[in-house]
Amino acid sequence: GAGVSQSPSNKVTEKGKDVELRCDPISGHTALYWYRQSLGQGLEFLIYFQGNSAPDKSGLPSDRFSAERTGGSVSTLTIQRTQQEDSAVYLCASSRESTPYYEQYFGPGTRLTVT
């Protein structure tokens, strides 16, 4: 079946602009996660959603970052007033549920470059 999809694959934006990144999880997966991969920080967790529960936002680096998940499926990660340090690859993952602990599957990522 189809895997996790993300769009756009690449995004170049000017410092100070807002960006939206989209993730479409595997059909039937109720848990959705956002991570980012940067040269200085490696792979780090940002936020995750499980069904109708409140999202775990503990990894968001600042209040410029937010995410929502509509209808329990597609998710959008929004970065406001982008900074150069936001340049990274943003990865989305999904799993069947988040408890007990199900395997996570990753999308191809969105490469964000802030100029």
Please name the amino acid found at residue 15: K
- Contact between 43 and another protein by CB under 8 A: the answer reads yes
The whole-angstrom separation of Cα 27 and Cα 31 is: 11
Residue 9 C-beta: closest distance to another protein, Å: 10
Residue 64 C-beta: closest distance to another protein, Å: 20
Question: Which of 56, 66, 76, 87 lies at the binding interface for another protein (CB under 8 A)?
Answer: 56
DSSP state of 85: G
CB contact at 8 A, 98 and 50: yes
Q: Which is nearer to another protein, 75 or 98 (CB)?
A: 98
Site track for another protein across 13-42, x = CB under 8 A: ------------------x-x-x-x----x
Per-residue HEC secondary structure of 94-108 comes to EECCCCCCCCCEECC
